[in-house]
Amino acid sequence: MKYVFLFVFALSLHLGMAQDKTSKDLNSVLKNMPEDKGLITTYFEDDKLYFKFPEEVLEKDLLMVTRLKQLPANYSAYRNAGSKTSEQMIHFVKVGKSIDLVQVLTTNVADEEDPISLSVAQNNLNPILASFPIKSEKGKDIVIEVSSFFNADSPSFNIIPDRLKSEYKIGKADDKRSRINSVKSFPENTEITHTLTFPTAKPPRRNSTNTFTFQINHSIIALPEDKMQVRYEDSRVGWFGIRKYDYSSEALKSDEVRLVRRWRLEPKDEKAYAQGKLTEPKKPIVYYLDPATPEKWRKYFIQGIEDWNSAFEKAGFKNAIVAKMPPTPEENPDFSPEDVRFSTVRYVASTTRNATGPSVSDPRTGEIIESDIIWYHNHLRSYRNRYLLETGAANPKARTLDTPEEEIGEMMRRVISHEVGHALGLPHNMKASSAYPVDSLRSGSFTQKMGIAATIMDYARYNYIAQPGDENIRFVRQLGPYDDYAIEWGYRYFPNSTPEQEKEILESFVDERSTNPLYMFGGRGNDPDAQTEDIGDNSVKASTYGLSNLKIVADNLNAWTTPEGQNFEDLEELYGEMLGVYRRYIYHVVSVAGGVHKTLLHKGQDGIPYQVVDKTNQINALDFLNKNVWTPQYWLVDKELISNFAETGKLETLVSINKGVLNRLTDAERLTMMWDTHSTLAGNGLSPQELLNLLTEDLIYSRTTPDQVERELQKHLVHQLIQLVDDKDLAMELKGHSLSLQEDLLTDFNTRAGSTEGELKAHYSYMIQMLEEALQTGK
């Protein structure tokens, strides 16, 4: 036993000496590497990255946010620089001689004093994302190497969705073309930027390298030790939220609850606040402008941010949100836009036409910790073009591509307000644009006071309804009454109240308001009152005004966009976007046919949550389509205009737009939904059989001498009727009706073919052949 003891002692001594030597060697290495102190002290050089942190960081609640910093061209229409790919709470956990990086699941919760909390813990084991051997442990400091973790495509990063991996046939990340780019540490966060390169066997067009390279940024953020009190969602008010399942609920199941995401605003003077006096918050929301923001636009950015102060005043706060230029190095040498303590509006020199308003929030409580608004430079071009196309008929200031600076500035201001709204916790509210009567939007006094929609959070950008001669019109959106209402609901401070007590108070607040159109919230779906890019309470009337204006713009497009001595590139771009505007106006009306009005209600409030659109309104919508779509719109393909830039003509483009409208109306899924809602929901709507009858009458029976465009639509309608019979999911009642329509059309076409000559006879003979083959197959 003595020899065994001596051997074990000698071995342990040897291992200890070896460990001491390893630690000394590592300390020597770290001593010669650049050190950056912060939440996690980092050492980074030549693609080697070490983390050093004290024991206090172990099992501390941290948030890891992964974003795309740069991405390949033509990669995805729904992802751009700044897009978040994952957000997860993590812990660094010591297990023996290793540190595990653990994802902490926060969705399933229970009261810690409730025995069921033990079961919640046992049945929700946190996954281990990575494990790192401890390289050194000196006093309270622990050192690990994380180089390989950030040079890999960890599934937890969710860099490329499975759908895109499959679509582009993307392989594994190439180690030789992947690297860590930079590392920065701050008191409350650590930032790691790295590059991942992937081979792709089926890249998008114009990618001849068969390669995708991404630059990714990871933020590791310390979450507040003092948790903010949660606020429960009310679905009738639009807020971004966090879903949780409460197993301590008194309901006979795990109760799903949603917490809203909001900044922590508390009054400096609670006594004054309780007396109804406007009070400054202890910590206002501060946004710093990017130093790269052109000077002439800065005032508009500041206005767009601080416009929200009027809404915060409804919640009892003054100067709640502040915009500032960043401090100079002399004023604050430690300032950095990447420091989580500072929220910024970044100005990005990019061809991207977009702006975004992301934020980072505490997954435990919903507290918004930091936000970076991103403005992409070329977004100006989108707004300039649409300003001309949608308002130029009634707005002389819009009739140029050299839009006056104050007009562009006003548009930028409102875009920034919209994105800040997202960063404050507000999602889109597409219902709000239907709150105002259409004709009120032709009133100068109304639009100057109320704007063009009840919220800045709708996609209601311009007043395309106002007509030539209407005076003192507001053409650009602004904050509205819904914004005041939503901010008051989310940010009103209730001292000494529990979340449950707050919920009861706020439910009464919403009960009194939510059925008023000014305060309604709604997503998209099949509600014609909750569409994107529309304004006014009547789609048919609004689009009629819009098309009247667009025809004036079409007549003047060349004159307004192309000065003497200039080529026609701008004209071609504007023409393509003009077709898009026409399509939008038409689709706003298409949504009325078969639509369902959705009103978010609680029991006891007046109204019906789901009600089909009245039949008269649906028929009016089809009459509009008959006049403005099925009857060819040759003003859209004017020879004098198109000959300036097009080599092949645009008639096929017009036919394609029209076919798209017809596809939408005769879609089997849509017709099945109509069949269902017509039978089971409140209201007197149009049946799908009646819809098909009206389409057949408008497109075929009422057109005795169809021209070339009308003939294409007739063929397409017959094709759609044939396809409906073959659709396996279509209700049998609708299949039978489609067959009956085909048989009637066959009889009609045979009659017409016998009394016509030339192109018409050939047209009817072709459709006779289509129908005979289809009916024969069906039998």
Handedness of CA 436, 442, 445, 448 (dihedral sign): positive
Beta strands 128-138; 108-109: pairing state? unpaired
Burial of 340 (0-12, 13-18, 19+ CB in 10 A): buried
Mark whether 362 and 467 lie in a shared domain. Answer: yes
Domain presence at residue 150: yes
Q: Which domain holds residue 409?
A: 270-537
Percent of the chain at pLDDT exceeding 70:
91
Mark whether 140 and 200 lie in a shared domain. Answer: yes
Domain presence at residue 163: yes
Domain presence at residue 143: yes
Mark whether 201 and 301 lie in a shared domain. Answer: no
Mark whether 190 and 279 lie in a shared domain. Answer: no
What local confidence, expressed as pLDDT, does residue 461 receive?
93
d(CA 168, CA 173): 14
What local confidence, expressed as pLDDT, does residue 259 receive?
93
Helix (H, G, I), strand (E, B) or coil at 117: helix
Look at residues 497, 522, 537 and tell me which one is the last residue of a structural domain. Answer: 537
Mark whether 17 and 70 lie in a shared domain. Answer: no
Mark whether 213 and 291 lie in a shared domain. Answer: no
Segment 771-778 mean pLDDT = 86
Confidence of residue 109 (pLDDT cuts 50, 70, 90): very low
At 342, list the tokens: 């500072």
Mark whether 349 and 399 lie in a shared domain. Answer: yes
Look at residues 510, 537, 564 and tell me which one is the last residue of a structural domain. Answer: 537
| pLDDT tens, residue by residue, 659-694 | 999 999 999 999 999 999 988 999 899 999 999 999
Q: Is the pLDDT confidence value at 709 over 50? A: yes
Residue 90 has φ and ψ, to the nearest 5°, of -135, 160
Confidence of residue 131 (pLDDT cuts 50, 70, 90): very high
Q: Is the pLDDT confidence value at 124 over 80? A: no
What local confidence, expressed as pLDDT, does residue 30 receive?
86
Mark whether 307 and 427 lie in a shared domain. Answer: yes
Q: Estimate to the nearest angstrom the gap between the alpha carbon of 19 and the chain centroid.
A: 52
- Contacts with 406 (C-beta within 8 Å, 6 or more apart), sequence order: none
Mark whether 100 and 216 lie in a shared domain. Answer: yes
| pLDDT tens, residue by residue, 549-579 | 999 999 999 999 999 989 999 999 999 999 9
Domain count, the chain: 4
What local confidence, expressed as pLDDT, does residue 255 receive?
66
Mark whether 596 and 533 lie in a shared domain. Answer: no
Residue 59: left (phi > 0), alpha (psi -120 to 50), or beta? left
Longest dimension (CA), the chain: 119
Mark whether 138 and 168 lie in a shared domain. Answer: yes
How many Cβ atoms from other residues are within 10 Å of residue 335's Cβ?
A: 14
Mean pLDDT of the chain: 89
| pLDDT tens, residue by residue, 258-304 | 999 999 999 999 999 999 999 999 999 999 998 888 899 999 999 99
Which one of 195-204, 349-358, 636-645 scores highest in mean pLDDT? 636-645
Confidence of residue 78 (pLDDT cuts 50, 70, 90): low
Domain presence at residue 394: yes
Q: Is the pLDDT confidence value at 753 over 60? A: yes
d(CA 656, CA 649): 13
Q: What is the crossing angle of helices 615-625 and 569-590, to 10°? A: 150
At 595, list the tokens: 């639509």
Residue 213 has φ and ψ, to the nearest 5°, of -120, 130
Domain presence at residue 440: yes
Q: Is the pLDDT confidence value at 118 over 60? A: no
Element (H, E) at 414: helix 405-424
Domain presence at residue 234: no
Mark whether 339 and 472 lie in a shared domain. Answer: yes
Domain presence at residue 257: no
Higher pLDDT, 15 or 41: 41
Contact between 546 and 620 under an 8 Å Cβ cutoff? The reply is no
Segment 592-608 mean pLDDT = 92
Domain presence at residue 119: yes
Look at residues 161, 191, 222 and tell me which one is the last residue of a structural domain. Answer: 222
Residue closest to 429 by CA, chosen among 230, 588, 236, 257: 236
Helix (H, G, I), strand (E, B) or coil at 762: helix
Long-range pairs for 725-734: beta carbons < 8 A, 24 or more residues apart: 725/774, 725/778, 727/668, 729/668, 729/669, 729/672, 730/668, 730/671, 730/672, 731/672, 731/675, 733/675, 733/689, 734/671, 734/672, 734/675, 734/688, 734/689
Contact between 571 and 562 under an 8 Å Cβ cutoff? The reply is yes
